[in-house]
Chain A
């Protein structure tokens, strides 16, 4: 389906990533947003606050992130597309509700504009150290989808993609931005509404008597119903059967939680997305995401000038991790170089998947700045020498 024109600001704009993410959400049909201010993410909801009244939606500044991260789930069960936006400390507070959304298969979008941590850390400066928290931060077994834009244009595009994936797979989708992408101003082209594809919620066509709220369809994803439509739905974070009734035993746990995990794991190849640059002849591959991938492009140019055959694998979808592609590449290349603004998170995944076939070398950075391209280039050149 194409986008509702009410939310689409068609044209060419010179805006930053935070504003672009707001426009992407509105274009995707988001009509409910709950937030709590935190640098460097606040501009997303500031813009939403000024845009929402014109398109029949609601923005509410909640009393804290705990409230924001569950208010949006109430809104989803009332039928809206909804998001919340935060950064590091707020993201930590939202973790319990990422688990709730995963358990109740509530399609919703969390935007995390990452800053330097831990704790209050570097509120106004970049970091990429929430990547493992995004994957594992809530308790229990579950899967989410996380995307990482590298430009304001992609903040717009991937915000739409986040909503589409959330609706398709009924999972919380995390848009993992970083401070630099959030605050960097570039041209963002917003197409006409008819050219923007949006995935609508798959509401059941069954009658209330025949409908089970958590009965999976062939894609392992159940159809939805919303409050007020006569289905008398029961939604609980407890382990539940296909009717949604709490039943706490290992058999139902196995049925439910295994499906929640498998609906993403078994479909990972449909969900993962990477950009590949100069991979064909590469002996060294830089694996990067977000702002770091843009710095890495410069590093690759420097290394190529010195005769090193190096390519870039940019993670657009970070979770699920592109295991199959990394595995294929691991048997062909000398090494992976993984620059990230943390002291080693996604590099662990590259190492795990490469399984010793090629080393994965971290180029870490504690945050507050992006890498110097020369530092990554030096690591590439060293890796090429073996």
Chain B
């Protein structure tokens, strides 16, 4: 492998390509990443890279779009057509990308602050339209990049820099939000469940429509430290002890309370016409035979 960045030469030399089957998926010349030790974002990327290797998708035609945040850096470390956009707007950027070239397999990969707080409106509308996107949301219950502020999934009573006396708002239950808005595939796993997560990602990559995977992920540096929850390993212990696999759980029942049970699994897996399928059906019906159907990907 050619390395054109001296500063990274040492790292890249000691990572032999044959050692790690996901290396080809990464921009190794950008390693090491910015993520802290024990952070879950990298673990989720590992699962994703393995899923991509196994999925029946054209890697040349795969594009990754992120917003802003620690999780939003994922696009830049993946060796695909990568777009690191503005805070909250990964989904509408991805929408334009997909609609302009439906051959592309477009994956949105970002944090819950990005996708659900500032980007919440785009999330529900893309799900409603059944835009053909896979959305992977790294949920670490806080804003990592800006220093541990409260997020739309922050559990009640936990502390944040902007909720110093403990969070008291009702948090979003993301699978339920996704399902209600119209997603055709909804799953949740933690970064402990790497195999299930990779399998779920593979399954979602091979499906069409608005697909949503929530990855519960540790942020030892900010969320855990402030709430005295230990390090990355302690987060794994929590996930092992408190995760319950329930594949067909009713998404209304699976909210996550502070350090409480985490229901994981694949909750929704159904079919419904995508935006472009609906558009083509409508235009064919109203415009008639002279309408040239738009490629659906």
Contacts and interface: CB of A to CB of B under 8 A. Distances in A.
B1 interface: no
Interface string A232-268: 1111111000000110000000000000000000000
Contact of B86 (A32, A78, A79, A100): A100
A60 interface: yes
A34 B129 CA distance: 15
Interface residue range, chain A: 35 or more
Question: Which of B63, B86, B94, B294 has the most C-beta atoms of chain A within 10 angstroms of its own C-beta?
Answer: B86
Question: Which of A67, A226, A231 has the most C-beta atoms of chain B within 10 angstroms of its own C-beta?
Answer: A67
A183 interface: no
Interface in B112-137: 121-122, 125
A196 to B, nearest CB: 22
B146 interface: no
A132 B123 CA distance: 33
Given A63-B122, A70-B92, A75 B97 contact: yes
B100 A78 contact: yes
B89 A227 contact: no
A272 interface: no
A245 B101 contact: no
A238 B86 contact: no
B81 A227 contact: yes
A106 to B, nearest CB: 10
B60 interface: yes
Given A233-B82, A235-B83, A246-B76, A60 B93 contact: no
Interface string A58-87: 101011101110111111111110100000
B163 to A, nearest CB: 26
A74 B81 contact: no
Interface in B171-205: none
Contacts of B27: 234, 245
A60 B82 contact: no
B292 interface: yes
B276 to A, nearest CB: 8
A227 B63 contact: yes
Interface in A178-217: none
Contact of A232 (B81, B99, B104, B122): B81
A356 interface: no
A67 B92 contact: yes
Given A73-B96, A74-B95, A232 B80 contact: yes
Contacts of B86: 70, 96-97, 100, 237
A371 B125 CA distance: 43
Given A58-B99, A66-B89, A228-B63, A74 B83 contact: yes
Given A32-B100, A58-B294, A227-B63, A74 B287 contact: no
Contact of B95 (A60, A66, A226): A60
Given A73-B93, A74-B94, A236-B76, A53 B99 contact: no
Across chains A and B, which 9 residue pairs bring their CB atoms closest together, nearest first? A74-B96, A78-B100, A71-B96, A74-B97, A75-B100, A67-B92, A236-B84, A78-B101, A227-B81
Interface of A: 31-32, 34, 53-54, 56, 58, 60, 62-64, 66-68, 70-80, 82, 96-97, 100, 226-228, 230-238, 245-246
24 contacts: A34-B92, A60-B95, A62-B95, A63-B92, A67-B89, A67-B125, A70-B85, A70-B86, A70-B93, A71-B96, A74-B93, A75-B97, A76-B100, A77-B83, A77-B97, A78-B97, A96-B86, A227-B97, A227-B101, A227-B104, A228-B60, A228-B101, A233-B81, A245-B76
